[in-house]
């Protein structure tokens, strides 16, 4: 894919735990029943030092603390990790729901960050709409935390996922973000209405308690055409363009979070995408068999991405043996929306 000498960015999931229950996040099923495939895990500080050894720190330009399933603020080694890299001239990007930790934490966080940094707060609306999607988070607490961080010198971004129920507040939210000192405001549409323009939210008993709709109706995928669409897609790997690797909460390395999420994507026979998801899992098993061991418990990033297996396999999976996941996220099956975080 690319050499270690070209590596620029590392995306890490230092925790796959989260207090929120966002309905479209794969850590639960429609916001209710917890994903039985997910094994919760946190990096230790020793894991962090092992992954970010001297060679890596001298090579990369950016570290993103985000992931597929968790919030990095739930790893209580975060501050120690930040202190370890603070003076390495590496851009730090932290993504959070912002409804965690206390005021003291947020006031002191900027002191542990390099000059070039950004904390992205996921705020999907205003006080009356935000928690309709960001279940188990508190809008007022998030705003209070963000203000403490900003007033202490931190650089913040307000990230707003637009749905039908909150789209009317997007302009007002951007004005609020400016008033409170957020440096950036990003607006994105959910990419998770692939089959129909409605998504049922369920409680832990499996009962429907709400229905989410996209801001604008999205083009729908005809299930019987998926193999043909994948075969016709042109895949342009985002991770390759960014010279980035992804490392999950279990220290397994993959090019991106999309491929890394496959083993934990829970589905059953009632799922309309059951056949496609089974195909994705088959493809993943084939990919892993070709890649070999990508765990960083006893290897370095350099070791893994320098292996002939890792450097040579991707062209086949983007051309003659196309991965469904790559076609969906980095292909042209549909017009690609902005990446949605949880």
Question: What's the rounded Cα separation, in Å, for the pair 120 and 160?
Answer: 10
Question: What's the rounded Cα separation, in Å, for the pair 126 and 143?
Answer: 10
Structure tokens at 101: 């930790």
Map residue 233 onto helix, strand or coil: coil
Helix (H) or strand (E) segment spanning residue 286: helix 274-291
Tell me, what DSSP letter sits at residue 204? T
Q: What's the pLDDT score for residue 337?
A: 39
No. of helices (H) and no. of strands (E), the chain: 15, 12
Average pLDDT over residues 246-266: 95
On the question of pLDDT at 6 being above 50, the answer is yes
Instruction: Mean pLDDT check: name the lowest of 38-52, 164-178, 318-332.
Output: 318-332
pLDDT tens figures, 280-303:
999 999 999 999 999 999 999 999
> Which residue has 């549909």 as its token pair?
334
Q: What's the pLDDT score for residue 306?
A: 96
- Strand 33-34, strand 62-65: pairing: unpaired
On the question of pLDDT at 217 being above 90, the answer is no
Average pLDDT over residues 98-102: 97
Give the Å distances, CA to CA, from 168 to 15, 26, 175, 325: 34, 27, 13, 32
- Strand 199-202, strand 184-189: pairing: unpaired
Give the start-end residues of each E strand in 48-110. 62-65, 91-96
On the question of pLDDT at 59 being above 50, the answer is yes
Q: What is the percent of the chain with per-residue pLDDT over 70, rounded to a whole number?
A: 97
On the question of pLDDT at 184 being above 70, the answer is yes
Q: What's the pLDDT score for residue 341?
A: 52
User: Is 19 in contact with 74 (CB distance < 8 Å)?
Assistant: yes
Average pLDDT over residues 40-49: 98
Average pLDDT over residues 160-180: 98
User: Is 335 in contact with 90 (CB distance < 8 Å)?
Assistant: no
Q: What angle do CA 142, 147, 150 make, to 5 degrees?
A: 125
Task: Output the pTM of the full model.
Answer: 0.94
Average pLDDT over residues 22-42: 93
């Amino acid at each position: 894919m690319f050499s270690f000498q070209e590596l620029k960015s590392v995306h890490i999931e230092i925790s796959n735990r989260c207090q929120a229950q966002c309905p479209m996040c794969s850590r639960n099923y429609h916001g209710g029943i917890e994903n039985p495939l997910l094994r919760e895990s946190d990096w230790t500080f020793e894991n962090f030092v092992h992954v970010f050894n001297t060679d890596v720190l001298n090579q990369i330009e950016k570290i993103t603390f985000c992931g597929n399933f968790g919030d990095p603020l739930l790893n209580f080694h975060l501050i120690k990790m930040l202190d370890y890299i603070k003076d390495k001239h590496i851009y730090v990007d932290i993504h959070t729901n912002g409804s965690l930790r206390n005021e003291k934490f947020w006031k002191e966080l900027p002191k542990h960050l390099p000059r070039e940094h950004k904390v992205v707060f996921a705020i999907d609306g205003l006080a009356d709409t935000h928690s309709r999607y960001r279940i188990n988070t508190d809008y007022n607490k998030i705003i209070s935390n963000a203000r403490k961080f900003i007033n202490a010198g931190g650089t913040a971004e307000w990230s707003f996922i637009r749905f039908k129920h909150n789209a009317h507040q997007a302009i007002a939210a951007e004005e609020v973000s400016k008033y409170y000192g957020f440096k950036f405001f990003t607006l994105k549409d959910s990419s998770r209405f692939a089959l129909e323009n409605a998504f049922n939210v369920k409680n832990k008993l499996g009962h429907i308690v709400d229905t989410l709709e996209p801001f604008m109706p999205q083009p729908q995928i005809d299930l019987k055409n998926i193999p043909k669409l994948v075969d016709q897609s042109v895949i342009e790997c985002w991770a390759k363009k960014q010279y980035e690797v992804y490392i999950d909460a279990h220290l397994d390395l993959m090019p991106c979070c999309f491929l890394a999420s496959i083993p934990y994507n829970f589905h059953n026979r009632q799922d309309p995408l059951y056949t496609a998801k089974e195909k994705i899992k088959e493809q993943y098993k084939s990919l892993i068999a070709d890649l070999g061991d990508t765990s960083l418990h006893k290897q370095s990033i350099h070791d893994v991405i320098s292996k002939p297996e890792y450097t040579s396999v991707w062209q086949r999976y983007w051309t003659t043996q196309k991965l469904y996941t790559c076609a969906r996220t980095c292909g042209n099956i549909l017009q690609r929306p902005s990446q949605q975080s949880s």
